[in-house]
Amino acid sequence: AQSVTQLDSQVPVFEEAPVELRCNYSSSVSVYLFWYVQYPNQGLQLLLKYLSGSTLVKGINGFEAEFNKSQTSFHLRKPSVHISDTAEYFCAVSEADSWGKLQFGAGTQVVVTP
Amino acid sequence: DADVTQTPRNRITKTGKRIMLECSQTKGHDRMYWYRQDPGLGLRLIYYSFDVKDINKGEISDGYSVSRQAQAKFSLSLESAIPNQTALYFCATSDRTSGSVGTQYFGPGTRLLVL
């Protein structure tokens, strides 16, 4: 069975500073990897995804993530955050034979302060 | 108009009551999902449906049932609500193309409180 671990439950960060959100997964088969964002009082929306090919994936709003198969990680980064990046971020995994079903991590709350 | 809508947005009910949460989508997607979100636990899959005649249990289906009335409508029922079903519930949709695997579109959520 697959599992997803987000190593930080909350990450405080100052505006214009970089941020990294860590995600590790475990699975016995090939996986697809995703980051979703949930802004306050909203549903989730896709930030970026890794299906195949280049291990560095760029998403919306200046975010990027790198798939590291040997370390089973998919960490999310942004070089300079804005106040509007305050949100909860979820890492998710889909096993290649699971027809697109997602297993979500517990989430990381990012709080950006001036 | 939103592509995925959920009604009601907020609901307070009492233990033992039957309630239904509804989800409608205008995206034309075949696949629909119900999740619950609890603080510190992320989202957990309750039920999913890959077409009108296909309904599958997810990770935490006990105490819940679903109905896929049409391609665009997927309802979640709590037959006899209990307090630990207090949570934020999300409906989501996706299509079946290989390039969109894992890309799901979420509704705004229904906040349920069971007293």
- Using one digit for the tens of pLDDT, what is the confidence trace for B23-72? 999 999 999 999 999 988 999 999 999 999 999 999 999 999 999 999 99
Q: Which of A98, A102, A108 is best to mutate for the B interface (most B CBs within 10 A)?
A: A102
Q: What is the mean pLDDT of residues B94-100?
A: 77
B89, B76 contact by CB (below 8 A): yes
All residues of chain B having their beta carbon less than 8 Å from the beta carbon of residue A94 are 101-102
φ, ψ dihedrals at B57, nearest 5°:
-75, 145
- Six-digit token string for A25: 């997964």
Distance between CA atoms of residues B97 and B82, nearest Å: 38
A:B CB pairs within 8 Å:
59
Name the interface residues of A facing B (CB cutoff 8 Å): 4, 6, 9, 32, 34, 41-46, 49, 51, 90, 92, 94, 99-102, 104-107
Q: Which of A45, A46, A104 sits opposite B42 (nearest CB)?
A: A104
Classify residue A12 as exposed, middle or buried by CB count within 10 Å of its CB (0-12, 13-18, 19+): exposed
More confident residue, A53 or B109: B109
Model pLDDT for residues A54-93, shown as the tens digit of each residue: 999 999 999 999 999 999 999 999 999 999 999 999 999 9
Nearest CA-CA distance, residue A51 and chain B, Å: 8
Q: Amino acid letter at A10?
A: Q
Q: What is the mean pLDDT of residues B16-22?
A: 97
pLDDT at position A12, please? 97
All residues of chain B having their beta carbon less than 8 Å from the beta carbon of residue A32 are 101-102
More confident residue, B103 or A96: B103
Searching chain A, which residue's CA lies closest to the CA of residue B59? Answer: A103
